[in-house]
Amino acid sequence: MIMNDHNLLSTFALLTRTPAVLNALLRDLPDTWTLRNEGEGTWTAFDVVGHLIHGERTDWMPRARLLLQYGESRAFEPFDRLAQMRESQGKSLGQLLDKFADLRAANLAELRALNLRHEDLERRGLHPALGPVTLSQLLATWASHDLTHLHQISRIMAHQYREAVGPWAAYLGVMQCAGHSS
């Protein structure tokens, strides 16, 4: 990895800390916050952590490897956005948080070991729906995907207090969020 590439350093800094953020926010938190969703067909915070695990297993680094090996000649595997509904069954939130932290650490170690050069970041792969994408875009999306789900988790949690806050709901922006980060 080029340590003077600012964007990549920022991406790495964020990816490294997300497991600790989710741990600080969710571990041992009452079920009120972690096992309730925003209504039928929506996710709980528990579901979101399972989704992040599935991403570590099948999305980000596997796509980076495919891109570096095959370029645009082989499209990425489509990502299964519902896999966690099977894979998280019977697990505790603590187990999921541990698993996410382990997988993320292993993936970042692998990313570091690639010793990416600046020109590697401009190499292209083929997204099955979006078309050509660069490695730089893939890595920036990995970090932004963490943020979209932190945004979602805070919204899911706030939803549980919609009644409890009474008239203050009008002042709390998160309670106006239409759920575009699900």
Binding interface with a second copy (CB under 8 A): 6-7, 9-10, 13-14, 17, 20-21, 23-25, 28-30, 32-33, 127, 130-131, 133-134, 136-137, 140-141, 143-145, 147-148, 150-152, 154-155, 157-158, 161, 164-168, 170-177, 179-182
* Separation of alpha carbons 49 and 153, rounded Å: 9
Which is closer to a second copy, CB of 90 or CB of 151? 151
Provide the minimum distance between the beta carbon of 12 and a second copy in the complex, in angstroms, as a whole number.
Answer: 9
CB-wise, 30 or 90, nearer to a second copy? Answer: 30
Shortest reach from residue 33's CB to a second copy, in Å: 6
Measured from the CB atom, the residue of 89 and 111 that comes closer to a second copy is: 111
Cα–Cα distance measured from residue 162 to residue 79, given in angstroms and rounded to the nearest whole number: 32
Q: What gap in Å lies between CA 54 and CA 61, rounded to an integer?
A: 11
> Taking the CA atoms of the chain, what radius of gyration do you get in angstroms?
18
* Gap between the Cα atoms of 119 and 14, Å rounded: 22
The distance of closest approach from Cβ of residue 120 to a second copy in the complex, given in angstroms and rounded to an integer, is: 16
- Centre a 10 Å sphere on the Cβ of residue 94 and count the other Cβ atoms it contains: 12
Number of residues that make up the chain: 182
Give least dist CB 44 to a second copy, A.
15
Smaller CB separation from a second copy, 85 or 140: 140
Query: Buried b / exposed e across 107-145, counting CB within 10 Å, b at 16+?
Result: bbeebeeeebeeebbebbbbbeeeeebebbbbbbbbbeb
Smallest gap from Cβ 40 to a second copy, in A, equals 18
Nearer to a second copy, 113 or 171 (CB): 171
